[in-house]
Amino acid sequence: MSALRDALSDLPDAVFADLLESETSYLLVLDLPGVTAETAELRVEKGRLVVEARRDKQLPAEFDYVREERPLFLDAEVPLPPDAVADEAEASMERGTLEIRLPKREAASERTIPITTGDEDA
pLDDT at 14: 59
pLDDT less than 50: residues of the chain: none
pLDDT at 108: 62
What per-residue confidence (pLDDT) applies to 63? 87
pLDDT at 40: 92
Give the gyration radius of the chain's Cα atoms.
Answer: 21
Per-residue confidence (pLDDT) for residue 122, from 0 to 100 = 54
Q: What span, in angstroms and rounded, lies between the C-alpha atoms of 97 and 30?
A: 6
d(CA 116, CA 43): 46
Q: Residue 3: enclosing H or E segment and its boundaries?
A: helix 2-9
Pairing mode of beta strands 40-45, 90-94? unpaired
pLDDT at 116: 81
Residue 103, helix vs strand vs coil? strand
Structural domains in the chain, CATH included, are 1-101 (2.60.40.790)
